[in-house]
Structure 1
């Protein structure tokens, strides 16, 4: 059997296809000098940054978890801990995040991770018809319904972003 070439997709797009979920790929030319992967994606693709969500790996009481928040704001670590019934949360070690997910920083998708982690999606996603998240590599965002993202990741929703609530 032939090996799948990277150009044919990522684990995130493969997970969506396998689940029969409708999504739109938004590939773009990533600028290595960009200060923010998510804001770069919003600008290049031409969508409101409130619709582009970043995937952040967090250490919650010694275990890794995933926070998904709009790129227009930040992750509230106290709210993230509370959403998972934990005492405290801190940003995960980048190398641990890459090992756990199988993705590189700036390309970590909440979908198709090597080892899935508890996931919390900011509740502002529920106000939108579609959101964009990393497609599993720098320079690729995927657009899908928040309900599909939540279902496929087994996520819960909570006000974990510092944007408007």
Structure 2
């Protein structure tokens, strides 16, 4: 549990550095999937931020997509938008790039710089919920503040 604490601390510190105030909540049940997180947070799946890690196929550049919990990434459309195809990375690569395990990948506090894009659908909400570095830790945030804090570019993902 020590690494989960450090991961959540890193998320909190990154938020503070970015000028946003978050309160990390540890849930009694898992928030590993968007459905689990929505249930635990008492919100809709659409208001859950999935932090998905991809790599650009040719350049190898890592990409973080912040996606509404109810959306699936249209990889062909994203490839056209970003200028090269994307591929999912495995759990080991996610941990190496972000310092987070799958199910707890936070939108900020990554150990590597990541080109970040945010699903336009998330920006329609007053608040959204995102993972905070552990599979049972989450935080609520205004999506526009999250966009600014991460330097994310809004995109249509599906």
Q: One fold, TM greater than 0.5?
A: yes
Structure 1 runs (4+) greater than 4 angstroms displaced: none
Q: Which residue of 1 aligns with 2:155?
A: 158
C-alpha contact (below 8 Å) 2:20/2:149 kept by paired residues: no
Match of 1:47, SS state, is coil
Contact 2:50 2:68 in 1 (8 A): yes
What TM-score results when the alignment is normalised by the length of structure 1?
Answer: 0.83
Structure 1 residue 8 displacement after superposition: 9.7
Residue among 19, 43, 47 paired with 2:43:
47
> What runs of 5+ residues in structure 2 fail to find an aligned partner?
none
Cα distance, 1:146 vs. partner? 1.2
User: What is the aligned partner in structure 2 of residue 57 from structure 1?
Assistant: 53
Secondary structure, aligned partner of 1:115 = coil
- Residue 140 (str. 1) matches residue 137 (str. 2): yes
**TM-score (norm. length: structure 2):** 0.86
The 3-state SS of whatever aligns with 2:147 is: helix
Is the contact made by 1:25 and 1:140 (CA closer than 8 Å) also made in structure 2? yes
- Can you list the C-alpha shifts for 1:55-75, whole angstroms capped at 9, x where unaligned? 000111322101111112212
RMSD over aligned Cα atoms: 2.1
Quickly say closer, same or farther: Cα 1:44–1:21, change in 2 above 3 A. Answer: same
* Displacement of 1:135: 0.9
Are the aligned partners of 1:67 and 1:80 in contact in 2 as well (CA < 8 Å)?
A: no
Residue-pair matches, total: 153
Selected match of 2:104 from 102, 107, 113: 107
| Partner SS state of residue 103, structure 1 | coil
Structure 1 residue runs without a partner (length 5+)? none
1:107-129, Cα deviation, whole Å (9 max, x unpaired): 11110100021011100111111
